[in-house]
Structure 1
């Protein structure tokens, strides 16, 4: 049977709709369209080649992989929605905290949540009686895609660990301080809601435009369409999904537990197991081991880490790849030329070292002696202990992180000015004067604002279908923002944060600006930038000598960017799936509050049970304290010693100066592209490239080669030479791989990895080298 797809002609008809009327795929009675009979829908045979690789047809990916059709009569708020949504939010808040303390940066995959929701939803639909009052209230109809999507949104909102658990973990690990449970939960909740308020008010820039694709969502929405289309059309895709899901579910037990050497097979390390140089360059199967050059990883958990190589656009992969190559060159260069006394410290590390450290005795800097009881730097103690040192590769991480921020600002203004000006225009003097003029004030701000935007031709075709539903007024998000500000200020003063109210307001301004720039960057490239260092730099200079205040400044100035991006990503997910905006808003608010509670509960348990491992440099391949170590290191360095370490004339001055260089870095590529457009320099994102120059500074790096091999095989070869296979299976296979992996990792975490307190080790042998690095490289700790 032919594969039915909405073609470009249908997209054009939707785009031409004016006014708040319902788009062409829904008639006046809101009856769903039948794509097999609607004459406005192009029927694309599965053997017909679709040129989605050609630059002129890049936008067609939104209509070729996702159908532009909707059924607004579907009921999404049922018993199943609330029961499974709350249950999976509890589950997501729990597992995201577990992943936070892993040696590799791993996210709770949306696909994983979607697969669980589908299995449980279909199960409830079959088990609960359909007749009588039970059926009326608990099982009124078959499980549908809108219920499924609402559950995913609620669970997603709880499934990213709030940065606040990093702050709480650092206070317990390094300051012997502990906020009470209620204050901790409200701290987490307020920091997340602050970002939600900002993100909601930026929807016209970060969600509606078709250029803001949010590629992370494509596998999920593609999977949902496959699951809920007629079985005659989806029998083969579902079979492929089931096979891939089952195979990866069974396979992951082997590299994760039975044979961890498969996490990173290094021919060079197997050839020479006594060389520290080989470990630094070719090792990478353990946390902070090495750069993983030419290592082969067979563990999808580390290849993907929740960020599948199958969905990154090829221009993003090119920029990432160039950055990683430069990273290997730069890291090797600074270490083996002994820049910043590099060889006195580990090759990769996130902790602070004493100036008395040597290659043989790598003493850590004693912050307890330097930071007084008032949480401020003691000048007398600092004179005795001396300034701390970083591992040289971590200096590069700080340097490039700061540089990519300024480069990102320039890049977005050059290449995405139409989207940027939507938000920035409110600061124009004419706009401000109009807002301040009492004649323009009215009492209709609460009304539904779901009317077409004057520039809606820039919006993706799925946005047009959302006009059938009531929009969320801006004042809802303003209320969320105001409430989070009030709660945050209460937490800051009740928790003795030492951050003043005006410092908090500066952090809010920083979050707003960076969300605009790097939310847009993530929406177009799929890359979530870590801009923590520059936020801590700003906090350090406005509150010098105060590391604890810096942690709180970073919590609200950086976590709000992350949470705002996540809200926009989920809004786009709901837009692609045509879920009513007010339902989406409700699901996000409830899910976030549940997530904050269980983030705190799991953080408390893991820090208590795994304290010694979290304080060690390498950790294990199961648990690692690299993220709280990094957070603490930067808060002490920037918050306590910004002037002494980073100002002009100091040891690490280039970490600050490089910000100015970053602003001009994108200019040559931009002007060369204007002069020589055939060179394809528009595919080079300098901010992404710079960001990846320090990408290998933490975690398990043996997966990086496998990541790029798979990514280019998908987005370049398969998309170019087999576009129909790409359309039908690429994102579906990505969903199956992430879903199967995430479920088995969750089971293993509690069953044998010690998330509940006790771990069970597989017997030691050559494939499970528990007493050293798993890839058999020389252990250099």
Structure 2
């Protein structure tokens, strides 16, 4: 993708007729509002990026296509200058950080990996904040009385109206705590597979180290990954739209707010059905329902292809899901170019995984078609404790007796595509986006960044000095060093330094892709490869090496996304700095406590390669499998190993992108499609997307993306601009509030589960979608 051509580079569909006058009037109205808003007294400098006249209009409304369009037309440039960092905002953020972190940790043990919706958190905070402002005493109550001296204290506790910046600060503290961390999942791996209970102090220090090192890098990379308009972080848009709808008092926002609460309430009430009472709604598949009496061999094939509601059941082909908790607003938010690339990957995934299994690639038929667990060569669960013992180091004699571990064909393929995607990511950034990188840092140095939101923020508030971030990097480094020397990591200090350097190298590439496309590439496979090379025979050391290197990348992306939200909503940068550090510390502690609770309560299910439709250990299984196999890198991935093609994928992922770049220089457009709009690393990643977990949501996600990003955005841009992101956020919020209640009430997050009584929509035996092959009824 060319650096300055915008995000959505797919061929433009023809616009509905609109008169030239409509387009000109719309543009003049916007520019007038942008250049001078007398109600708030802020002026925004006009940059060259706003002199273009290349925006497509339908019925007088601009079609939101690129990041520049988002900044110009979707997000209000308004800044009321209200206070951000108050006692109220810190208190509410701290309280709800506990809720966000708890939900995040619960979702890490689900069959579909979902993030905690910021919308869910901001709504709860908004409700409490409004009640706080309304019902607690205000300083006006004592002014002019003998208690006037208490006015300052009362104003400190209740400064009046609960306004947008206080709301944003509270929500970002909670959402920062809700990011989750590979560090905490590593401790879960040690607890489940190595019977090691990591101390809370070690856990908090390790999590603080990875998160704050990532945040330090984000601060240094701000000119590249936050300031420019094209760095959208598309998943933020529902949240930003809701913040402005809740607090900007206009007639249009009242309509949007009413629409929001209607959709939120509807989804809250509905979600109890697919998630608890009627789980068949999570994966309705006509083929499964109509083939109940076929032979067992045919039923196995049908389950592998069409089944997908239970964890690791099948590929979920043609299943329709009505369970929004697993669909999510992602596909309402992601740009069309990203979604089309992912759809290509999905199509390849169905074909390739079935082909690998039924051709017996990597000896696949000895194991389940989908699983992230480790197996012995005879198909039983691998006895890793016998091989690595209590010292977490390789016992060669035991390895000779037990034999090498084996991966399922789907897991091996997922590892291969992960390396292909990493290689493609690096190549795509270097070949297609290098000019953009140069321009971004030049604009930061000369303070000529044309993004209107950055201009307001830069004019009205002090930026965080560079040395603040450098100090944070130093503190994070020493916190990690303490863990290395005092914790049960088996990781040498020099390997710890290598892991941080590797994470720092990958962070800019991953953040660039995530900011522009809305999702990134899982780079932890590269980290585990390097870990296996520097720490052979030490799976726990491999866990910690990949934790520091990969968590630096993942937390950098999350924190950069929050900084962008702060830019859109005009939050003072120094308040953002303190907010994110505080949220990180809270999340480290709470994530650890919830992890211990879930692991202890659901231990056997988490160790089971299949799990259930409620709980799944696929995340910890995957982490452990990768750590064990890469600690045996020479035997498994060496020249004579069964998985030699997996590490070579890193190189092979770069080569096609190099050819693509060369072709784009000669033929920028082929068949009406821009060559640089084909994002190969995204295609690689999604071509193995269904290698584990519950897959019944794919078709529903595809349909949501088509309706939102193709039909509404192209043909109804007015409705899209006003309501699209509001709707996505409302549905997320309603579903996640209900899931939080159900997790502790009936799903057994902290004790014994209470399943709903069996009936046709909730079968007591077999898979929920009635695809009952693969031993479901054994």
- The question of a shared fold, defined as TM-score above 0.5 by the shorter chain, is answered with yes
Once residues 634 and 38 of structure 2 are traced to their aligned partners in structure 1, the CA distance between those partners, rounded to angstroms, is: 62
Once the two structures are superposed, the pairs formed by residues 32-431 of structure 1 within 5 Å of their partners are 48-52=59-63, 59-72=68-81, 74-130=82-138, 131-132=141-142, 133=151, 135-273=154-292, 274=296, 275-304=299-328, 308-357=330-379, 363-421=380-438
In structure 2, how many angstroms separate the alpha carbons of the residues matched to 1:688 and 1:184? 33
Counterpart CA distance in 2 for 1:326 and 1:405 is: 18
Q: Deviation digits for residues 23-45 of structure 1, max 9, x if unmatched?
A: 85589xx74689xxxxx99xx9x
1:16-69 C-alpha deviation (Å, 9 max, x unpaired): xxxxxxx85589xx74689xxxxx99xx9x99522325x6x6622222111122
How far apart, in 1, do the equivalents of 2:260 and 2:350 lie? 36
Instruction: Assess if the C-alpha contact under 8 Å between 2:238 and 2:729 holds in 1.
Output: yes
Matched with 1:480 is 472
- Cα separation, partners in 2 of 1:26 and 1:492, compared to 1, 3 Å: farther
Of 657, 663, 667, the residue aligned with 2:648 is: 657
Distance 1:546 1:26 in 2: 64
SS of structure 2 residue aligned to 1:381: helix
Give CA deviations for 1:720-751 in whole Å, capped at 9, x if unaligned. Answer: 11110110110110111111111111111111
Q: CA deviation at 1:6?
A: 12
Question: What's the CA shift for 1:683?
Answer: 2.1
- The residue correspondences of 1:452-531 to structure 2 (distance < 5 A) are 453-454=444-445, 456-467=447-458, 468-531=460-523
Deviation track 1:440-461 (CA, whole Å, cap 9, x = no partner) reads: xxxxxxxxxxxx7346555522
Match of 2:534 in 1: 542
Q: Give CA-to-partner distance per residue, 1:560-606, whole Å, 9 cap, x none.
A: 11111111000001000000000011111111111111111111111
Q: In the alignment, is the contact (CA less than 8 A) between 1:293 and 1:702 conserved in 2?
A: yes
2:693 pairs with 1:669: no
Match of residue 430 from structure 1: none
Q: Displacement, 1:11? A: 7.5
Say whether the 8 Å CA contact 1:648–1:657 is kept in structure 2.
Answer: no
Alpha carbons of structure 1 residues 217 and 7: separation in structure 2 relative to 1, 3 Å: farther
Q: How many equivalent pairs are there? A: 724
Alignment check: 8 A CA contact 2:67 2:229 kept: no
User: Does the 8 A contact of 2:226 with 2:564 survive in 1?
Assistant: yes
Asked if the contact 2:228/2:449 (under 8 Å) is kept, the reply is yes
> Is contact 1:204–1:422 with CA below 8 Å preserved after alignment?
no
For the pair 1:693 / 2:687, whether they are aligned, the reply is yes
Would the aligned equivalents of 1:33 and 1:69 in 2 still touch at CA under 8 Å?
A: no
* Contact persistence 1:164–1:188 (CA under 8 A): yes
2:705 corresponds to which of 695, 711, 718: 711
- Quick check: 1:14–1:464 contact (8 Å CA) kept in 2? no
- SS of the residue corresponding to residue 150 of structure 1 reads helix
Match of 2:546 in 1: 554
1:624 to 605, 616, 632: 616
Q: 2 CA distance for matches of 1:151 and 1:777?
A: 45
Q: CA RMSD in A?
A: 2.5
Task: Name the CA distance, whole Å, in 1 between partners of 2:258 and 2:372.
Answer: 45
Shift of 1:421: 4.1
CA contact (8 A) 2:224 2:441 kept: no
Q: 1:420 to 1:383 in 2, by over 3 A?
A: farther
Residues 114-150 of structure 1: CA distance to partner in whole angstroms, max 9, x if unpaired?
Answer: 1111111112112212333364232222110010111
Partner of 2:734: 740
CA distance in 1, matches of 2:555, 2:189: 20
- C-alpha change, 1:218 and 1:138, in structure 2 (3 Å) is same
TM-score normalised by L of structure 1 = 0.89
Distance 1:9 1:547, change over 3 A: farther
* C-alpha displacement of 1:519: 0.9
Match of 2:717 among 710, 713, 723: 723
Write the distance in 2 (CA, Å) between the matches of 1:119 and 1:543. Answer: 51
Answer whether contact 1:7 1:64 (CA < 8 A) is retained: no
SS at match of 2:91: helix
**Whole-angstrom CA distance in 1 between matches of 2:209 and 2:439:** 27
Measure, in 2, the Cα distance between the counterparts of 1:718 and 1:6. 22
Q: d(CA) in 1 for partners of 2:437 and 2:644?
A: 32
Provide Cα deviations, 1:220-275, integer angstroms capped at 9, x if missing partner. Answer: 11111111122423222111111111100000000000000000001111111350
Q: Give the drift of 1:10.
A: 8.1
When residues 11 and 554 of structure 1 are mapped into structure 2, their CA distance, relative to the original with a 3 A threshold, is farther
> Which is worse superposed, 322-331 or 666-675?
666-675
Give the one of 653, 660, 677 matched to 1:683.
677
Contact 1:244–1:737, Cα closer than 8 Å, also in 2? yes
Cα separation, 2, equivalents of 1:171 and 1:265:
37
Displacement of 1:496:
3.1
Contact 1:117 1:148 in 2 (8 A): yes
**Is 2:570 the partner of 1:578?**
yes
1:154 is displaced (CA, Å) by 0.8
In structure 2, distance between residues paired with 1:584 and 1:58: 22
Query: Are 1:541 and 1:642, in contact at CA under 8 Å, matched by a contact in 2?
Result: yes
Distance 1:123 1:283 in 2: 47
Q: 1:553, CA displacement in angstroms?
A: 0.2
Aligned residues of 1:282 and 1:290 also touching (Cα < 8 A): yes
The residue aligned with 1:593 is: 585
Name the CA distance, whole Å, in 1 between partners of 2:256 and 2:691: 39
- The 1-side partners of 2:441 and 2:628 are apart by 34
Q: Is the Cα–Cα contact under 8 Å of residues 351 and 390 in structure 1 kept in the other structure? A: yes
